[in-house]
A and B are shown apart, each in its own frame.
Chain A
Amino acid sequence: MSDLDCNEFVELVTAFLDGALDAETERRFVDHLAFCDGCDTYLDQIRQTTKMVGSPSPEALPEASRQALLDAFRDWKR
């Protein structure tokens, strides 16, 4: 059994992942996680979401801007 409800659990996931829960709340969170497959899935999906947000297509600097910056860097050191 756990004294944390699922609708409370889902509001704590970000703080949990940041390691920002106090010791008592973290214990209740982990106890609930051990007993509730639905919340285990939810936490895992937040982790997956974080990873998917973190893999955007790279946007390179336009070559002209890159060259202009390099020129500026050279000039500055003259």
Chain B
Amino acid sequence: MEAEARAASGEFPTDEVLVARLRDGDEAAFVLLVDTWSGGMGRLARSFVATNESAAEVVQDTWLAVIRGIDSFEGRASLKTWIYRILVNTAKRRGVREGRTIPMSSLLPTDEDYGPTVDPARFLEAGHRWAGHWREFPAVWPSPESAALSDEVHTQVADAVAELPDRQRIVITLRDVEGYTSEEVREILDISAANQRVLLHRARAHVRARLETYFAMVDTERVGGEAVP
């Protein structure tokens, strides 16, 4: 009950407190963690396995492993990072069983992750006085408040993230959805900060480009009054 009361007041218990309570069999502490972290865990698991049902089972199996393993948690990483590592290992094993193999090497950037993330045609060509500068500035988007509320914007973002290669989707999910730092992602996925940044950079640029296309279309519809093919 105390853990719930604290969560309600906006104060999340420290790792030390949480671990002690879990070891004592405090159900409220367990429920608090399950309710707070399962959503993010499910989204991450979904990157490794074939279906939403599989992802839910990975989350379930991870919590069972947490229950069994909490006594051996040493506190070298944060509790959440430790749980996410268990999740990634569980999800990978299951992904392999389902034939959706994501070996460790596929989390590393490949040649196609390098090179320009913005269409080179957007910049003035070599020889021009302003070579390398914007041909036309990117159009300013509608205010974040109104845009963020739109379901259609959410759909655009979700589609853009879904079509990313696994390695990019996993990294942008951890960094921008779950809010992990580059250091934490390095610990969870065991890839260098530089490598995960290459993947994150490309993933964000891809989603931005999708939004740019979308906002341009909406703008043309509003200003021109004509449907756009």
Interface residues of A (CB under 8 A from B): 5-8, 10-11, 13-15, 18, 20, 36-39, 41-42, 45-46, 48-62, 65-66, 68-70, 72-74, 76-77
Contact = CB atoms under 8 A, between A and B. Distances in A.
B73 interface: no
Interface of B: 25, 27, 30-31, 34-35, 38-39, 42-43, 56, 59-60, 63-64, 67-68, 116-118, 120, 122-123, 131-134, 136-141, 144, 147-148, 153-154, 157-158, 161, 172, 176-177, 179, 182, 193, 197, 200-201, 204-205, 207-208, 211-212
B116 A18 contact: no
Interface of A is mostly: helix
A5 B131 contact: yes
Given A7-B133, A66-B31, 7 more contacts: A36-B134, A49-B157, A52-B154, A53-B161, A53-B207, A59-B43, A65-B56
B115 to A, nearest CB: 9
A69 B34 contact: yes
Contacts of B122: 7
B60 A53 contact: no
Contacts of A66: 31, 34-35, 38
B134 A74 contact: no
B134 to A, nearest CB: 4
B96 to A, nearest CB: 23
A72 B43 contact: no
Given A51-B144, A53-B157, A73-B30, A46 B116 contact: no
A41 B138 contact: yes
Contacts of A74: 25, 27
A6 B132 contact: yes
A61 B118 CA distance: 38
Contacts of B35: 60-61, 66
A53 B27 contact: no
Contacts of B136: 38
B141 A10 contact: no
A18 B208 contact: no
Contact of B132 (A5, A53, A55, A69): A5
A11 to B, nearest CB: 6
A54 B177 contact: yes
Nearest first, the 3 closest Cβ-Cβ pairs linking A and B are: A5-B132, A77-B25, A38-B137
Given A37-B137, A45-B211, A52-B153, A72 B123 contact: no
B134 A6 contact: yes
Nearest to B70: A76
